[in-house]
Structure 1
Amino acid sequence: MCDLARGGHTVPRIGGGRIGRVGHGGAWLHLTRDIGHIFRAALGPAARQPLGLAVSGGGDSVALLHLAVEAGCKVAVATVDHGLREEAAAEAAAVAARCEALGVPHRVLEWRWNGRGNLSDAARRARMTLLADWARGAGLAAVALGHTQDDVAETFLMRLARDAGVDGLAAMAARREVAGMVFLRPLMGVGRAELRGWLLSRGLDWVDDPTNEDAHFARVRARRAIAAMADAGVGADQIAALAGRMTDVREALDGSVAEAAARIARLDRGDVILEGAGLAQLPVEIRRRLMRDVVMWIGSAEYGPRGAELERFIAAALEGRAATLGGCRMTPGRGRLRITREMRAVAGLECATDQVWDGRWRVTGPEIDGDNSGLTIRALGIEGLAQIAGAEAATMPRLSLLASPAVWRGDMLVAAPLAGQGAGWSAACAAPFGPLSAAPLSH
């Protein structure tokens, strides 16, 4: 296919990509380590299950592929083509040819940007969603990504430049779930140069994305900063180790938040009730993290609210004032704070009865005349509340009911489970993740 990189020589371009270069020092320094053993240990039980691999053709992902094949894993490969570079299609074809030679199934997953929002964020989200959908369809248990120790260090510096807190500076997770699929990062204990040395020792080639040299990208600037720090004796491994210690700090904080949630929080049919006095007595950071988790769960948010906005929300809570944040409404009363979904945030949000509504609610009930095809779920709202006889007797507060899931047929209310209306219909709210899951149910 091409000449191979050896020592300080270069790898000629394959499929239109830039050439890769590996020097003797960085590539061969750590070859005494058994990278295969490190990889298998990081995979753990996943090594014995059908495993998906995200392979772009770069050095990290090519090493991921060959390590998995050498380990005897049952794998399938996907390459995401974002359509952002002319060379991408040829590089995906090169990965397909490599996989064919190895007897490994391969798919190209295409995505095209619609021009809206932040390109990098949109591409990242699309990549994870495409991979998750592909993996589920292929019957895979998890998808492995080729992130390395260098990626951990670079991410740390990028977030440090954005004044990130403990969560931002903590190392990326070795295991996480996205769109219902488990994603693994089994190479985070291995350096990028170390992987390339491993590839060279086996006579294997790879392609480097030319954007890896474009200083317009924050990651490239972080990579160069790490290279510059090497003269001062600071390497990617040390920065990654610091990120790992920040992960330990985050876990310790999460433990304290879970203890606080168990003591002063209650879950009530999708709402959270907090004891005002208990909230005031919490250490500042624990209080902030608990409130952030509450808002993220009720608001079905992927990211927490901005720091200044969260601080204003917390100040209102401590002063016993009503406030809104992130699609959530906080109402004080009798020494407690009830945080519920804000009606405005779900107005117009509608889905079929077999789908999850507002990211948290699943509604089930009997078939009507053998057919539920005309039914939808949307917020109860003022219109729905007006159709309920004796709504004033409902045990849920009015503001909570307004934003609660209801079953509709056109403009006619069929059921409002949280208001006790609609025989045989029920609404179940997904439980919170993380520390907030320690909060008990209200009785």
Structure 2
Amino acid sequence: MPLIPPDAAGLEGRVAARLEARLQTDVEHPVALALSGGGDSMALLGVAAAWAKRAGRRLLAITVDHGLNPESADWSRRCEAAARAVGADWVERRWVGGKPVTGLPAAARRARHGLIADAAREAGATVVLFAHTADDIAESDWMRERGSTLGRLREWSPSPAWPEGRGLMLLRPLLDEGREGLRGWLRERGRDWIEDPGNAGFGRGSARRALSLLPVGEGGSRSETDEGRASPGTHDPPPFAQERRRAVGRSIPLPLGEGFEMDRSIHSAELAVMLLCVSGSETPPRGDRLQTLTGRLSAGEDFTATLTGARVEARGATVLIGREAGEMRRHPVADIALQPGMPDIWDGRYEITAREPGWTVTAARGRLNALSKADRAIVNTVPAWARAALPVLIRDGGDAPVLAWRAAEVRALAPHRLSLALAGGLGETTQESDLAGTMHGETPPPDLF
């Protein structure tokens, strides 16, 4: 049976082609889908469920109850019914605890991505479908023009939640589709959706109202093409993509995953991604400081600088980027008591799984001289300034540290995180099948241990 419907020019055919370009067929692990119950996600649910049946895939719909509306429990029930009706599995996650008085939309968005990522990874999914549309692109552009720091929507990008979203890619197959076209598709099939009154508030509601006043064809999302699709190019890769591809091809992971070595031909957007990866952070650097740093690199200046918890050391043609151990003193990283067989994320940079009970992971800072001679020899393969940021294990009831790799399975997250971030940012046609396997730099060479 063909995977793309006979009506390839219609909505189902267009979206199926985008799913087909990225996703695997006839595999056991599911494709996840973020289901809010709104018109966009309900339309994506219907189209994705039909594709999944043809492709031999399970579809898992994930609904997040933010607890911000008294009707949210009813909305979850409607989402579950819709998912079950098309043959998809369904799970709910709830945002519990106190809610911030200010910055609520950003906090809710962060919580939603984190909860969806946790549920997807728990189910074994590596790709989550999101129902962003051409209208969302236009609204985000409108908000950025007025000072918003929202990122750009791309068809294929890593989960923004860190570390919950490690290894997960987001696929947005509706970015060329308009919101009204999707609702028309639902009406034709007698399907309903939820209208969240919260969408009328905050910045996105203002953008939506402003764009609704524009003549058809303006605003980046109300074009006259079929079903309200945006004009081609609304989510093309940035013009510096080729420069980034060349620069990234020359990056070399440092031993034990402590950072990267590369040359000075790095764009500011690429540098920002590297800084996040090596520091384990999810908060991007300030634009002005990033531009200053990039300018110093381009000018050939020799210097050492710290930004976003990362250290940049430029000497001659070589640039080393790694975790700044001094930042760990100013902002201590919590020790973690490891449970055997249960992966834990330490400092946002390492996934550590203990083989036996009784171990706690902590920073090597202040403990380097207490390591064994063999461990010190391995530590010395890392630049001196990065050594204090390595993870070591302390046995319960003792104080003699060992390198974490000695008594646990350790995976450095920066190389894989960088690879996924670049694949999304460059718009490369990587696929779900490319997400498996170990990247160079994730684990140390066997001869080190």
**2:178 match:** 191
Contact 1:52 1:135 in 2 (8 A): yes
Match for 1:92 among 55, 70, 76? 76
- Partner residue of 2:321 out of 328, 339, 342: 339
Partner of 1:53: 33
Q: After superposition, what is the alpha-carbon deviation per residue over 1:111-155, rounded to whole angstroms, capped at 9, x for unaligned?
A: 135234732222222222322333344455643222222122212
User: Which of 375, 378, 387 pairs up with 2:362?
Assistant: 378
Cα distance, 1:350 vs structure 2: 2.3
SS of the residue corresponding to residue 367 of structure 2 reads helix
Matched, 1:306 2:290: no
In structure 1, the partner of 2:434 is none
Equivalent residue number for residue 220 of structure 1: 205
Whether contact under 8 Å (2:131, 2:173) holds in the other structure is yes
Question: How much does 1:334 deviate?
Answer: 6.6
SS at match of 1:244: coil
| 8 A contact 1:405–1:416 mirrored in 2 | yes
Match of 1:149 in 2: 134
- Aligned twin of 1:271: 259
8 Å CA contact 2:35, 2:45 repeated in 1:
yes
How far apart, in 2, do the equivalents of 1:426 and 1:80 lie? Answer: 32
**Separation in structure 2 between the aligned mates of residue 163 and residue 206 of structure 1, nearest angstrom:** 29
| Correspondence for 1:361 among 337, 346, 350 | 350
Q: Secondary structure at 1:132's aligned position in 2?
A: helix
The question of 1:260 aligning with 2:260 is answered no
Residues in 2 aligned to 1:48 and 1:241: alpha-carbon distance in whole angstroms? 32
> C-alpha separation between the residues in 2 aligned to 1:328 and 1:334?
20
Q: Distance in 2 between matches of 1:149 and 1:95?
A: 23
The alignment's C-alpha RMSD in Å is: 3.9
Count, aligned residues: 388
Give 3-state SS (helix, strand or coil) of 2:73's partner. helix
More moved, 85-94 vs 137-146: 137-146
**For the structure 1 residues 378 and 183, does the alpha-carbon distance in structure 2 shift closer, same or farther, using more than 3 Å as the test?**
same
- Show CA shifts across 1:381-407 (max 9, x none): 123335556969934343221111222
Cα distance between partner residues in 2 of 1:205 and 1:426: 48
Counterpart among 328, 333, 351 of residue 310 in structure 2: 328
When normalised by structure 2's length, the TM-score is 0.72
CA contact (8 A) 2:310 2:324 kept: yes
Q: CA deviation at 1:244?
A: 3.4
Greater Rg, structure 1 or structure 2? 1
Kept in 1, the 8 Å contact 2:220–2:234? The answer is no
Alpha-carbon distance in structure 1 between the residues aligned to 2:422 and 2:47: 38
Q: Which runs of 5+ in 1 are unaligned?
A: 1-30
Question: In the superposition, relative to structure 1, how do residues 83 and 315 fare at CA in structure 2: closer, same or farther (>3 Å)?
Answer: same
3-state DSSP class of the match of 1:77?
strand
Find the aligned partners of 2:270 and 2:31 in 1 and give their Cα distance: 35
- Give the partner amino acid of 1:61: S
SS in 2 for 1:236: coil
Q: What amino acid is the match of 2:119?
A: W
Match of 2:390 among 404, 407, 413: 404
Equivalent residue, structure 1, for 2:98: 114
Separation in 2 of the partners of 1:162 and 1:197? 33
Asked whether the equivalents of residues 360 and 429 of structure 1 are also in contact (C-alpha less than 8 Å), the reply is yes
2:59 pairs with one of 75, 78, 83: 75
Distance 2:139 2:49 in 1: 28
How far apart are 1:175 and its partner, in Å? 5.2
Q: 2:401 aligns with which of 409, 414, 436?
A: 414
| Aligned-partner Cα distance in 2 for 1:364–1:63 | 40
The equivalent of 1:26 in structure 2 is: none
Q: What is the rounded CA distance, in whole Å, between the counterparts of 1:395 and 1:54 in structure 2?
A: 43
Which residue does 1:40 correspond to in 2?
A: 16
* Distance in 2 of aligned mates of 1:234 and 1:332: 43
CA-CA distance at 1:338 after TM superposition: 3.4
Cα distance in 1 for partners of 2:36, 2:113 equals: 13
Residues 1:172 and 2:158 are matched in the alignment: no
Between the aligned partners of 2:143 and 2:290, the Cα distance in structure 1 is: 23
